[in-house]
Amino acid sequence: MAGINVFEGSRRIALLLKAVWVIGVAVVSYMQSPDVLVKFVTTQPDAPFMITDEDCEIGADGIERVIRAMDDGRSISAELCFTSRVFESNQQRLVPYKVEKGMIWGNGRYSTEVRAYTKARAEQFRLTGADQEAARAAWSSLRSRTVGHAFLFATGGWIALSVLQALTGWIVRGFVGIPRGHDRRPKPDPQSTELSELL
């Protein structure tokens, strides 16, 4: 019976580990749903929310975050920014919270009036058809980036395992005296043995 081929067995184990690595990365990437954040801004109580790429000014603008479901069942996070402005009456930067008889009322970001206003508008916030289209585009873009990162991660792991496999084989062959590219020591040539005996 032929001896056990340790190197062939190790190659199969290494191939199995690499396959498990790639499949694992693919499954984790598929299971992770991108967390999409869409930013909306409004300038005053009677103004609608508009999608924006700009960040709220921390400490000055009012900010609320809500989660809303889209028609296709996916959910997105919406950051609602209530922009502040400088009021001429006192030259202070305030968040408008009420429009009454043509006058706009404002107060500080953390005031009771502004907090009640932003929370009420956040509860009433709904996604329009255009908002959902923009959110789906953002979701698809983020999903593509996630898949790209997963591909690079899987490829990097495959290469690392291959290098480890080659390095281990090189070390073991060096210890047992097996030439590179062979799994066993080459059998001695009978003619060269006879010639050495004659010499």
Sequence-ordered list of residues with C-beta below 8 angstroms from that of 57, at least 6 positions apart, any chain: 83, 84
Q: Which of 52, 76, 56 is nearest to 66 (CA)?
A: 76
Contact predicate 78/56, CB 8 Å: no
Domain end, chosen from 127, 153, 178, is at 127
Domain count within the chain: 2
* Closest to 63 in 3D by CA, of 106, 108, 119: 119
Q: Which one of 127, 159, 182 terminates a domain?
A: 127
pLDDT at 79: 94
Whether 38 contacts 77, CB under 8 Å: yes
Shared domain for 110 and 146, answered yes or no, is no
Domain match, 58 and 116 both: yes
What are 82's strand-pairing partners? 42, 62
Of 127, 143, 167, which residue constitutes the final position of a domain? 127
Residue 190 has pLDDT above 90, yes or no: no
Banded pLDDT at 181 (limits 50, 70, 90): low
6-49 residue pLDDT tens: 667 778 888 888 899 889 888 887 777 667 889 999 999 999 99
Q: Which residues contact 113 (CB under 8 A, 6 or more apart)?
A: 97, 98, 105, 107
Taking the C-alpha atoms of residue 122 and residue 116, their distance in angstroms, rounded to an integer, is 10
Q: How far apart are CA 171 and CA 177, in angstroms?
A: 10
pLDDT above 60: residue 135: yes
Indicate if 42 and 122 belong to the same structural domain. Answer: yes
Residue 3's domain spans which residues? 1-32+128-199
Across the range 56-61, mean pLDDT stands at 86
Q: Does this model's pTM top 0.85?
A: no
Supply the pLDDT for residue 48: 92
The reply to whether 23 and 48 lie within a common domain is: no
Q: What is the pLDDT of residue 2?
A: 53
